[in-house]
């Protein structure tokens, strides 16, 4: 007999047009009673569902859904009950007939005995921040796609600007593209628009800007440049609104007293043991100290995982939740696939993007770690490992409210310095065919 953990619960099987609900309660005689009813998913139908659940004075509601169909239900019920959004893979029904009614009853029964594990649902302010950062990411991805279309169009017009300029949408490249769209054909005049270090490449630019540009090329290029400018404007507008939202989250109307943690339902501030609250703006500046992380990347990281690291018991839990932890599939004493687990795609993708940037920094631990692993495991596995290391650092930085501490590019050499020196001596002796013996002596100060 399983022990009863919660005495008044409900299970919801949520779909696009219907919600199958089962309410369940344990009476004073320790008898379990339940009722099942189907509701629609419009706001009026969900308010009827709320009244129906409140009739039994329920405390916990378990909800299973695919896609985003759970959000309207959660918006209506979150202020009245403790809502648990559960993973459908974790609550597979026992073998037998599979129906929506059975699913809702099974959810309610599992919740009754405390056998469910809730998914992390951020509080309202963080959910708003998450929606804005995700939309900005989509606009940035669309901008990158338009830039790729520009490069494809230039190739079709025999313009090889991308072979000379690293970024065709930089100050110099953008001015040259505007001249091409305006009908300019003199490659020498367009190459003279180069600025900064690009002026060292003027002869190459003259050759690259000599092409066969037709009227339809100019028309399409002008439209693409306008599209890029439009996306840039929208990205800036959204970034400004994100900054204002972070400011409101950092300094609410009624800030908490020093030493007191903010209510988890509000998701505004988190206080550490020193009693000083970590605001959202301060957290952004804190994460900005990591190589490869700028303000926009820091905003996305915080929007996905929040400030309160207590919801992730350890840094490894956070890495697993983000989908950056190696798989652990072992059977019969034999280890099988180590493929990374499924997790938060938005967080994992932005961490991988930051890891690529960090791998190009100078004299840093992250760059050293990337090249050390890439030589043995390949670049893709190495970049995921670097992203994992960065996310672990984020967990400790937010937990301890400390900036990033750089270990240096020679960290791995200094960690086992004597072994490294011994290896290099043996390597040098081997390269000389053993004809010389190397003895190391310290030099006088």
Q: What is the pLDDT of residue 269?
A: 55
Phi and psi at residue 162, to the nearest 5°: -70, -15
- Predicted pLDDT at 60: 94
CA distance 430 to 105: 72
Residue 25: CB partners within 8 Å, gap ≥ 6? 7, 8, 9, 32, 33, 34, 56, 58
198: burial class by Cβ within 10 Å (0-12, 13-18, 19+)?
buried
The answer to whether 78 and 127 have CB atoms below 8 angstroms apart is no
Taking a C-beta distance cutoff of 8 angstroms, is the pair 318, 324 a contact? no
> CB count, 10 Å around CB of 74?
18
Q: Please give the pLDDT value at position 414.
A: 85
Give the integer Cα–Cα distance in Å for 200 and 263. 58
82 bridge partner residues = 60
Dist CA 303 CA 129 (whole Å): 6
CA distances in angstroms from 145 to 152, 159, 221, 336, 351, listed in the order given: 11, 19, 14, 37, 20
Is residue 37 helix, strand or coil?
strand
Q: What's CA 41's distance to the chain center, in Å?
A: 30
State the pLDDT at residue 260. Answer: 43
Q: Report domain extents, the chain.
A: 8-112, 126-248, 257-400, 416-445
Contact 208, 168 (CB under 8 A): no
Contact, 231 vs 266, CB < 8 A?
no
According to the model, what pLDDT value does residue 89 have? 72
- For the entire predicted model, the pTM comes to 0.85
As a whole number of angstroms, the distance between CA 69 and CA 208 comes to: 52
CA nearest to 180, candidates 200, 148, 208: 208
Give me the pLDDT at residue 257, please: 47
Which pLDDT score is estimated for 202?
94
Q: Does domain 8-112 have CATH number 3.10.580.10?
A: no
For strands 60-64 and 82-86, give the pairing: parallel
**Contact of 226 with 134, CB cutoff 8 Å:** no
Fold adopted by 126-248: Helix Hairpins (1.10.287)
Distance of alpha carbon 25 from its chain centroid, rounded? 40
d(CA 292, CA 350): 11
Query: In this structure, what DSSP letter does residue 83 have?
Result: E
Mean pLDDT by 10 residues, the chain (445 residues): 87 93 90 93 96 94 89 94 86 61 88 89 94 97 97 95 92 95 93 93 94 95 97 97 94 52 46 68 95 96 94 93 83 74 91 96 94 94 95 95 92 86 86 78 75
Tokens representing residue 209 in the block: 């800007």
Q: Residue length, the chain?
A: 445
Extract the tokens encoding 18.
């219907």
């Amino acid at each position: 007999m399983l022990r009863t953990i919660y005495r008044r619960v409900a299970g919801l099987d949520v779909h696009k047009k219907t919600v199958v609900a089962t309410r369940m309660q344990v009476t004073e005689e320790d008898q379990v009673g339940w009722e099942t009813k189907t509701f629609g998913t419009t706001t009026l139908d969900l308010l009827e569902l709320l009244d129906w659940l409140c009739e039994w004075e329920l405390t916990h509601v378990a909800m299973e859904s695919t896609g985003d169909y759970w959000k309207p239900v959660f918006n209506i019920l979150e202020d009245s009950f403790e809502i648990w959004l559960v993973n459908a893979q974790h609550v597979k029904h026992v073998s037998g007939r599979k129906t929506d009614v059975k699913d809702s009853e099974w959810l309610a029964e599992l919740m009754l005995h405390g056998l469910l594990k809730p998914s992390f649902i951020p509080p309202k302010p963080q959910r708003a921040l998450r929606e804005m950062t995700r939309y900005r990411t989509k606009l940035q991805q669309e901008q990158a796609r338009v830039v790729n279309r520009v490069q494809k169009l230039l190739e079709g017009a025999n313009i090889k600007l991308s072979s000379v300029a690293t970024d065709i949408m930089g100050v110099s490249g953008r001015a040259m593209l505007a001249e091409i769209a305006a009908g300019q054909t003199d490659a020498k005049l367009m190459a003279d628009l180069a600025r900064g270090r690009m002026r060292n490449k003027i002869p190459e630019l003259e050759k690259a800007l000599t092409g066969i540009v037709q009227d339809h090329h100019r028309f399409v290029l002008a439209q693409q440049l306008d599209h890029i400018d439009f996306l840039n404007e929208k990205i800036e507008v959204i970034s400004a609104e994100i900054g204002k939202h972070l400011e409101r989250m950092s300094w609410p109307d009624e800030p908490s007293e020093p030493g007191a943690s903010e209510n988890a339902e509000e998701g505004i501030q988190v206080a550490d043991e020193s009693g000083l609250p970590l605001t959202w703006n301060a957290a952004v500046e804190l994460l900005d100290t990591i190589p490869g992380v700028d303000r926009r990347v820091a905003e996305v990281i915080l929007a996905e995982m929040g400030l309160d690291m207590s919801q992730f018991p350890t840094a490894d839990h956070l890495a697993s939740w983000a989908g950056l932890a190696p798989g652990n599939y072992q059977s019969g004493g034999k280890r099988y696939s180590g493929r990374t687990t499924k997790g938060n795609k938005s967080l994992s993708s932005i961490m991988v993007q930051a890891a690529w940037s960090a791998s190009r920094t100078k004299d840093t631990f992250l760059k050293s770690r990337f090249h050390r692993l890439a030589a043995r495991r390949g670049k893709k596995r190495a970049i995921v490992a670097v992203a994992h290391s960065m996310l672990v650092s984020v967990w400790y930085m937010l937990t301890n409210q400390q900036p990033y501490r750089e270990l240096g590019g020679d960290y791995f050499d200094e960690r086992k310095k004597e072994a490294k020196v011994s290896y290099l001596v043996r390597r040098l002796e081997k390269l000389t065919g053993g004809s010389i013996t190397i003895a190391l002596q310290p030099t006088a100060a």
